[in-house]
Amino acid sequence: MGLPHLISIVGAGPGDPELLTVKALNRLQHADVILYDALIGDEMLELANPGAVKIYVGKLNNDGQNQMERQDGIHQLFLHWASENKKVVRLKTGDPMIFGRGAEEIRFCKANNLNFEVIPGVTAAVAGSSLFSVPLTERGKSNMLLFYTCRKENDCFPQLEPLVSVLQTGSPVVLYMGLHHLSELSGKLLERGISGKMPVQILCKISQPGQSSYSTILSKVEEFLSEKKPCTPSLLIVGEHAERI
């Protein structure tokens, strides 16, 4: 199987089409096939080659899909369209290498001798920090940053102690996919001595129509969530200095 097929694993950013990189837009405009995620909006797809085949391959929380089967189906589409010598864009929310299964798709392409490239995207943490003026790092305050996914394993939060250690330094933790478990996680952090006054920022629909943000503190998370209903997709920033400027 040879050129000119090309698999472009493209980060679409957090939702606003204007946050696409120039290179990502170029690939969309010249794609034969686009395999796109659940959170990719119509406005972004309208920027693509109008003749491109557009195939939804995304997932949503608790949508009932078997994720191993879904990912295998994406890989098989890579093989099929590569055999047709097509230019394929695998359009992924955010950045392919941050909680985006980009590594799995790269390994598959390498194992099957597919011609591929990876185009970075703006991940939600970076976009949310800038759009809502919540610094992730700042001289004399925050010298490191942790990205953490709140997916539980065996009914536990994995690697919880390193998360606590980072918060104890004064640096922030960004929680991806964390809203549904925020109340439980906040309790675990309080049990481990994290201050109840620690700020918590909840950023919703970052860069998308209807984006919103909420601020609370760790000890009041449960009370806050009982009164407010933040929408998804959302991202959380927790830290001693995680306050809006």
Answer yes or no: is pLDDT of 239 > 90: yes
pLDDT of 72-92, one tens digit each?
Answer: 999 999 999 999 999 999 999
Structural domain boundaries enclosing 175: 125-238
Which helix or strand (DSSP H or E) is residue 180 part of? none
Q: Among 37, 87, 92, 95, which one carries the catalytic annotation? A: 37
User: Does 1 score more than 60 pLDDT?
Assistant: no
- Does residue 244 have a pLDDT over 80? yes
Q: Is 228 a catalytic residue?
A: no
Same domain membership, residue 139 and residue 76: no
Q: How many domains does the structure of the chain reveal?
A: 2
Task: Tell whether 114 and 162 lie within a shared domain.
Answer: no
- Which CATH number is 201's domain given? 3.30.950.10
Its pTM stands at 0.91
Is there a single domain that holds both residue 146 and residue 105? no
Catalytic residue among 32, 54, 59, 220: 59
Residue 39: pLDDT over 90: no
135 and 43, same structural domain? no
pLDDT at 63: 60
**Do 155 and 181 meet the contact criterion of CB atoms below 8 Å apart?**
no
Whether residue 245 lies inside any domain: the answer is no
CATH number of the domain to which 34 belongs: 3.40.1010.10
Question: Residue ranges of the alpha helices (H) in the chain?
Answer: 22-29, 42-45, 67-83, 102-111, 124-131, 160-168, 182-191, 221-227
Residues 88 and 131 in one domain: no
Provide the pLDDT for residue 59.
74
- Is residue 243 domain-resident? no
The reply to whether 95 belongs to the active site is no
| SS3 labels along 80-138 | HHHHCCCEEEEEECECCCCCCCHHHHHHHHHHCCCCEEEECCCCHHHHHHHHCCCCCCE
Sign of the CA dihedral running 56, 60, 63, 68: positive
Instruction: Look at residue 155 in the predicted model and tell me its pLDDT.
Output: 87
Mean pLDDT of 18-37: 97
Domain boundary at 56, 89, 122, which?
Answer: 122
CA dist 165 → 57, 128, 158, 176 (Å): 37, 23, 14, 18
